[in-house]
Homo-oligomer: A and B are copies of this chain.
Amino acid sequence: MNIEERLLKGDKRACARLITMLENNDPEAIEIIKRLYKHSGNAYVIGITGPPGSGKSTLTDKLTKELRKRDKRVGIIAIDPTSPFTGGAILGDRIRMSDLALDEGVFIRSMGTRGSLGGMSKATWGATKVLDIYGVDYIIIETVGVGQSEVDIVKTADTVLMVMVPHLGDDIQAIKAGVMEIADVFAINKADLDGADKTQLEIEMNLDLNEKSDYRPPVVKVSASRNENIDQLIEKLMEHRNYLEKTGKFSERRKRNTKLEIIKLVEEELMNLIMDKALEENLLESLSEDVLLKNLDPYTARDKVLKLIK
């Protein structure tokens, strides 16, 4: 059997192989996804985000175990910061999740952020398609960090879970404000700590200000490490799913996400084209020299590169 047939039959190793091919920019992987694309669309995607130290990984672990109790197959994509020099993901396959890795119904993959010039979304997005075709019921995309690229990824999920935690310091207010609007469900993790009620109050007040639809994101206090209230959190995630499906907003959201995905793919492909040409002709090198010497301004340099592809 070739890798395509094996993937369709739910072969875990074929799934892992194909994601690796995507990470390596192997064009064959893209051809395979193109051919199998019609088999996708059955997995429900949950994006988990939140500031560093909020315990997203532990929570992902516990949510997955709860979904497994309900006999659901789960794929996890953990986005890790990447070393700009080695290009590899830092945390490997999340040692602390190793008991999950032994479960046949769970697929876990860490993916790096792959340098500065995009690429992150391409491979991540492709990986969700592979997992979808492979046949999981739920895909959890977890991102460390609260930066713009990370938000871009997580917001293409069907349901976005924002993990907060008491006492996050000065600029938590800013982070909350920046990503609050993409959250469908809030979890306050480490809710046994002092300050959880205050954090909840702050979130609720913020939600009061932003109310503009018939859906109000619920706020659930949990403790991932003590495994408390995880079932209640799952219920809230399911309620959001039901809300989307009942109101027709599910296909609306998938359409918006599809648009974002196409734009990202275009953006990345364009950059590849430009970089190939610019490097080939050693153009960037000479332009940046000229700009540095102020023989040229950067906008004119930009226009010279643009001419290459037109």
Q: Which residues of A line the B interface, CB within 8 A? A: 30, 33-34, 37-38, 40-41, 51-58, 80-85, 90-91, 113, 116-118, 120, 144-152, 155, 165, 168-175, 177-179, 181-182, 251, 254-256, 258-263, 265-267, 269-271, 274-275, 278, 284-285, 287-289, 291-292, 294, 297-302, 305-306, 309-310
Contact = CB atoms under 8 A, between A and B. Distances in A.
A81 B174 contact: yes
Contacts of A266: 271, 274, 302, 305-306
7 contacts: A81-B146, A117-B263, A145-B145, A147-B149, A258-B288, A258-B291, A265-B301
Question: What is the predominant secondary structure among interface residues of chain A facing chain B?
Answer: helix
Contacts of A149: 147-149
A280 to B, nearest CB: 15
Nearest to A291: B258
Contact of A81 (B170, B179, B258, B261): B179
Nearest to A54: B169
| Copies of the chain in the assembly | 2
A52 B181 contact: no
Given A34-B299, A146-B52, A275-B263, A177 B81 contact: yes
A57 B170 CA distance: 9
Given A33-B297, A258-B288, A169 B271 contact: no
A249 B18 CA distance: 41
B84 A144 contact: no
Contact of A292 (B168, B255, B302): B255
A195 B88 CA distance: 29
B177 A298 contact: no
Contact of A145 (B58, B146, B169, B292): B146
A118 to B, nearest CB: 8
A234 B49 CA distance: 35
A175 B290 CA distance: 36
Contacts of A269: 302, 306
A63 to B, nearest CB: 16
Given A116-B260, A145-B146, A148-B116, A177 B90 contact: yes
A148 B146 contact: no
B52 A171 contact: yes
Contact of A148 (B150, B179, B263): B150
Contacts of A83: 177-178, 181
B84 A169 contact: no
Nearest to A147: B147
A11 to B, nearest CB: 21
